[in-house]
Amino acid sequence: MTPGNNGASTPEDDDPFGYLYADGQANGAQPPSGGYGYPNSVNRVRAVGTRQYGQQPQASQTAPYGQVPQHQGAPGRPNAHYAAPETLPGGAPTAQQQVPGGGGGRGGRGPNTKGLLIGAIAVVAAVVIGIGVAMLGGEKDQNNTDDQAGTTPTQSQNAKPSPSPSKGGQSEVELPKTDAKALRLGPGVSTASDIKGSKADGGVYVTGFNHVGAKVTWTVDGIKKAGSYRLYVRYGIPGVDANATLVVNGEAQDRPVNMENFGGTPKGDWEKGWKETWSNVTLTKGTNTIELACNEGNQCDANLDQLWLQK
């Protein structure tokens, strides 16, 4: 051997391009015969199934998969870092193992979309139910408020009303009221009780008012404040309109007391002819006089039952 040449099948022969040089050709380098441009010495492909695991490598073979070569460890001793699945205790797995959690491997399960969909539907249903309950509760509260607001007037109507003070500090109940028989009667005027329907005490009313010069006078005491009041008169007529002159504190009023046949009761029926009317009067504080008179131009065919004042 010459220096630098170790003979055939030596590292020099592994040069894939040795056949291009003269010294390589002298050493027997051959062009490639079917690979990818590499010589036959490099194309050391082992056929599938020819490698045997767990066997000692021959002098011309490399160490089997999972075995440590002789220059790396004890002969035939498996290397834990390169051990094949078949050499592990229990052998190779016989069934495909599922990766927990479906972490992105080809064999793992994907996201549980069905469970997510069911959860989303449950959340939406809970929100809708909550809104419905809130709306029903709000509607119920509103109904309760309306009911209470509606019952308040009813309760106040059923309750006995208390006298409300007037602007002059005088309630309607406290304002004077009198039966006609208690009035000061003028010439030709008298009392009677033969016609039913009078509300005065004992059914006694004033009659004989149907002639010129007839009058009745009411002296009103206890007016606490001057102002405008309503004078109510309860009268009875035989189905024919009547009227009388109104005199307050000696002064005749422009408008007479209208004793009309309201409701159209039959003519001549005194018993069904009891009615009420009113006129505005201006009174002073203290004592006032109110007079109903049958003067010229008046139609005075009427009976007088009661008189009272209201603010």
Average pLDDT score over residue span 112-132: 83
pLDDT at 150 over 90: no
pLDDT at 219 over 60: yes
Least confident of 49-53, 185-189, 244-248: 49-53
CB atoms within 10 A of CB 63: 19
- Residue whose token pair is 């109104």: 246
Euclidean distance between CA atoms 250 and 288, whole angstroms? 10
Residue with more model confidence, 237 or 121: 237
As a dihedral over the C-alpha atoms of residue 242, residue 247, residue 252, residue 258, rounded to 10 degrees, the angle is -20
CB atoms within 10 A of CB 217: 14
Distances (CA, A) of 63 to 47, 91, 225: 15, 20, 133
* Residue 153's pLDDT band (cuts 50, 70, 90): very low
Q: Residue 195, class by beta-carbon neighbours within 10 Å (0-12 exposed, 13-18 middle, 19+ buried)?
A: middle
Instruction: Let me know: does 219 contact 184? Beta carbons within 8 Å.
Output: yes
- Residue whose token pair is 């539907």: 121
- The string of pLDDT tens digits covering residues 230-278 is 999 999 999 999 999 999 999 999 999 999 999 999 999 999 999 999 9
- The string of pLDDT tens digits covering residues 284-301 is 999 999 999 999 999 999
Average pLDDT score over residue span 302-311: 97
Q: Quick one: pLDDT at residue 211?
A: 96
As a dihedral over the C-alpha atoms of residue 251, residue 311, residue 244, residue 190, rounded to 10 degrees, the angle is -100
Structure-token pair, residue 122? 């449950």
Residue with more model confidence, 189 or 97: 189
Q: H/E element holding 308? A: strand 303-310
- Please write down the long-range contacts of 23-26, taking CB distance under 8 Å and 24 or more positions apart: none
Phi, psi of 156 (to 5 degrees): -70, -30
Structure-token pair, residue 161? 């009303």
- Residue whose token pair is 């033969």: 194
Q: Quick one: pLDDT at residue 288?
A: 98
Closest by Cα among 228, 218, 221, 216 to 302: 216
Q: Quick one: pLDDT at residue 126?
A: 86
Closest by Cα among 231, 232, 241 to 298: 241
Q: Quick one: pLDDT at residue 130?
A: 83
Query: Model pTM?
Result: 0.47
Closest by Cα among 173, 176, 169 to 226: 169
In the chain, the percentage of residues whose pLDDT exceeds 70 is: 56
Least confident of 75-84, 112-121, 241-250: 75-84
